[in-house]
Structure 1
Amino acid sequence: MTAPDLLTFGEAMVSLRSAGPLAAGGSLTMHLAGAESNVAVGVARLGHRAAWVGRVSGDEFGEYTLRQLRAEGVEVAGVSRDADRPTGLMFLEQRTADLTRVQYHRAGSAASALRVDDLRAPLAAGARMLHLTGITPALSDTAREATRWAAEAAAAAGIPVCLDVNYRARLWSRESARAVLAPLAGHAAIVIASADELDLVGEPGADESTLVADLFRRGVHTVLVKLGADGARAHTPDGVQHVGTLTVTAVDPVGAGDAFTAGYLSGWFDGLDLPGRLRRAATLGAFAVSTRGDCEGLPRRAELSLLEGHETGSVLR
């Protein structure tokens, strides 16, 4: 069998969502969550081969995780089951119409036991792109070493590496993150970060142009800076391009950055030029924010044109 288009690894979690304050009680709905698995699902829905590697618990939540990924067409052959550790949980409450609050229960999870040996065989099988985030190395010492090893091994094997900074303040400090992520970026071909995360892969306090120039000197060829409602900037050695957002009614911002990444990588797999990759990234971001759940609303290939020229409240008959 040929190598997958996308190989990624990290922590897939179970997300339990409440439509109101958790303290008030009420029903919870269960969803698949996790930055890397979100990207894998987004890529797979657009017809690319995606493989996700990680460690999941032997409990029912671990089984749910694998079933959801398999149902989305994501390859999970390299996943290990861990009977001694729980699945990471994430609770989300719609605290106000404009504010979603998140609580994590992930300490000591199965995913935190990820180690280099979990990645050797999947990486040896090859991939067109290895996707990493700054979340996985924050989980534990072994996960940090596994991430470093994978980035170095992929780069040495000629596999392009995409690094999404995806900083999580509840997992580590900015100083600790910078000490790990700045060296990691030196193995990446693509670096993705929000404007307030970019200095975590370079000099603290430096401006965007300085940070981008440093990344280019270190071998990165594309730097994507996410700007939220203002879209994104793409830096390449040929210059800077900007993409705006599509006009949609935003109901849930969770997973929007992962959707953007999935769209960009899908465009890269399809051989689109930079403007085309950015348009697809913006399209997937729009689908993500206008539907609830981390990845449930991401489009399939036949749906990519649904938002073109639409008006709010449109009904397709």
Structure 2
Amino acid sequence: MIEGVPSNGDHLGGVVTFGETMGLFRDPVPGMLALSRHVQLGMGGAESNVAIALSRLGTPVTWLGRVGRDSLGDLIRRELAAEGVNTVVIVDDDAPTGLMIKERRMASATRVWYYRAGSAGSRLEPADIPEDLIRGAGLLHVTGITPALSESAAQATRHAMRIAREAGVLVSFDLNYRSKLWGAAEARHTYLDLIGLADVVFAGESEAAIAVGVTGSVAETARRLGDLGPKQVIIKLGEHGCFASVNEVSYEQAAVTVTVEDTVGAGDGFVAGYLSELQRGSPVAVRLVTAVSVGAFACTVAGDWEGMPFRSELGLLGATEPVIR
């Protein structure tokens, strides 16, 4: 059953994204999860993290995905709606919502386990993609996680990207490599296919190296990615900021220094910051400043998406007073 397909034009011109969002068990306190007495229930998923960050930044966004007819699926639908994200949800009666467990073994080290084989999210297929939704969007954002889930999910990703390309809709692709889902050789084969369908590509240094097959300077890696088709290539460098090649012009942006609580979700916040400014027609330099700012905000709070800032809060990173009255 599909719920939430827009019946009006509210989604037109906004961002559309899709993928698997899972229930999430985590302990916000570092230590062995087996000894924890503080486990919390939440949700997480790269594409929904981006969607929430975009919504908080004032960018209209729609998230599409499958969930099970269970309490975790209910949680995901409720949280996304509460965050102002329009949702197109396929409720699967025959598969459960996926689950993710995070252990912060130390403040600087997090381990993640996924229970998503046969999940509702992994059963995404081309028929689930509302073509009119894609054609009416201002931008389609996908990640390399979705095609790693299953062959049908990979087909759905290609299908959506091709619809967008044919309709003249910008396509954004974040490689987002997950070694627990597939090996580098298999990922590279898919990356080469999907990068050619994208206008904007995001990648970490190691992810970009998987895609191009060689290790070189950041500028050289960005050039090689650009040779595959996208005009905007952004390399995420974590605490060192980012490097971008946009229409063959190079840009560098330093990171924002913050006290790090949890780095999970920082890359998704970075992507959302860039795409939000891209949708607003902002210059490249502004896109990159907002990208590193949102990524920095995400690091200040434990959780995948909870630390994403509202646009009105972006200036807090430069505040000199600890209390604002």
Q: TM-score, length-normalised on structure 1? A: 0.95
Q: Distance in 2 between matches of 1:183 and 1:288?
A: 31
Report the equivalent of 1:13: 22
**2:49 maps to 1:35:** no
**2:289 maps to 1:279:** yes
* Alignment-mate amino acid for residue 54 of structure 1: G
**2:119 maps to 1:114:** no
1:303 deviation in Å? 1.0
Report the equivalent of 1:316: 324
**2:179 maps to 1:164:** no
1:239 deviation in Å? 2.3
Describe the SS at the equivalent of 2:317.
coil
Q: Distance in 1 between matches of 2:180 and 2:170?
A: 29
Report the equivalent of 2:33: 22
Report the equivalent of 1:300: 310
Q: Flag the 1:122–1:15 CA change in 2: closer, same or farther, 3 A.
A: farther
* Alignment-mate amino acid for residue 87 of structure 1: T
Report the equivalent of 1:133: 143
1:73-97, Cα deviation, whole Å (9 max, x unpaired): 1111x21001211111111112112
Q: Distance in 2 between matches of 1:254 and 1:172?
A: 20
Q: Distance in 1 between matches of 2:263 and 2:218?
A: 24
**2:242 maps to 1:235:** no
Q: Distance in 1 between matches of 2:219 and 2:252?
A: 14
Report the equivalent of 1:46: 57
Q: Flag the 1:233–1:205 CA change in 2: closer, same or farther, 3 A.
A: closer
Q: Output aligned runs, 1:97-246, within 5 Å.
A: 97-121=107-131, 123-205=133-215, 208-246=218-256
1:121 deviation in Å? 3.6
1:204-252, Cα deviation, whole Å (9 max, x unpaired): 4465444433433333111111111111111123421111111210010
Describe the SS at the equivalent of 1:245.
coil
Describe the SS at the equivalent of 1:87.
coil
* Alignment-mate amino acid for residue 15 of structure 2: L
Q: Flag the 1:315–1:6 CA change in 2: closer, same or farther, 3 A.
A: same
* Alignment-mate amino acid for residue 24 of structure 2: S
* Alignment-mate amino acid for residue 261 of structure 2: V
Q: Distance in 1 between matches of 2:179 and 2:186?
A: 10
8 Å CA contact 1:43–1:49 kept in 2: the answer is: yes
8 Å CA contact 1:4–1:50 kept in 2: the answer is: no
Q: Distance in 2 between matches of 1:238 and 1:103?
A: 39
* Alignment-mate amino acid for residue 11 of structure 1: E
8 Å CA contact 2:174–2:202 kept in 1: the answer is: yes
Q: More deviation in 166-175 or 8-17? A: 8-17
Describe the SS at the equivalent of 1:79.
strand
8 Å CA contact 1:198–1:208 kept in 2: the answer is: no
Describe the SS at the equivalent of 2:86.
coil
1:199 deviation in Å? 2.6
8 Å CA contact 1:59–1:86 kept in 2: the answer is: yes
1:172 deviation in Å? 0.1
8 Å CA contact 2:233–2:246 kept in 1: the answer is: yes
8 Å CA contact 2:23–2:76 kept in 1: the answer is: yes
1:42 deviation in Å? 0.3
Gaps of 5+ in 2: 1-8
Describe the SS at the equivalent of 2:101.
strand
Q: Distance in 2 between matches of 1:4 and 1:103?
A: 36
Q: TM-score, length-normalised on structure 2? A: 0.92
Determine what percentage of the aligned residue pairs are the same residue.
Answer: 43
8 Å CA contact 1:138–1:144 kept in 2: the answer is: yes
Moved over 6 A (4+): none
8 Å CA contact 2:135–2:163 kept in 1: the answer is: no
Gaps of 5+ in 1: none
Q: Distance in 1 between matches of 2:213 and 2:38?
A: 45
Q: More deviation in 27-36 or 300-309? A: 300-309
Q: More deviation in 192-201 or 278-287? A: 192-201
Q: Distance in 1 between matches of 2:324 and 2:212?
A: 47
Q: Distance in 1 between matches of 2:261 and 2:140?
A: 31
* Alignment-mate amino acid for residue 161 of structure 2: A
Q: Flag the 1:274–1:159 CA change in 2: closer, same or farther, 3 A.
A: same
Q: Distance in 1 between matches of 2:261 and 2:320?
A: 17
Report the equivalent of 2:75: 64
